[in-house]
Amino acid sequence: MTIEVDAKVVVDSFNNPSLDLYEFGSILDVCRSISHSLINVSVSFAKRQANGVAHALAKAARSYASPNVWHETLEFLRDPLLFDVIVSSY
């Protein structure tokens, strides 16, 4: 599983604990611990322009009072997904 983050300093700190950010150190420690319990997890940098799907999901999530699981394709993700694929290929 690849986790893409649009904050390079967070990715660098996650992948190299000696660069720990004091503001987020304990959160990154927990994230590292969880990732070590999973198989084949990597954290990489993705340009913000290639992260439209995450932005669209976060925006939609604000309108829900409780967690949701979708089992179908969400129409509002079609355009951001196509754009992310195009931007990521460059």
**Tens digit of each residue's pLDDT (9 = 90 or more) over 33-65:** 999 999 999 999 988 777 788 888 888 888 888
Whole-number pLDDT of residue 30: 92
Question: Domain range for residue 69?
Answer: 48-88
CA neighbor of 11 nearest in space, from 89, 26, 21? 21
Are 38 and 12 in the same domain? yes
- Tokens found for residue 26: 């304990």
pLDDT band at 90 (very low <50, low <70, confident <90, very high): low
Q: What is the pLDDT of residues 4-30, one digit of tens each?
A: 888 898 899 999 888 767 777 888 889
Whole-number pLDDT of residue 12: 92
Neighbours of 1 (CB within 10 A): 9
User: How many domains does one find in the chain?
Assistant: 2
Are 28 and 63 in the same domain? no
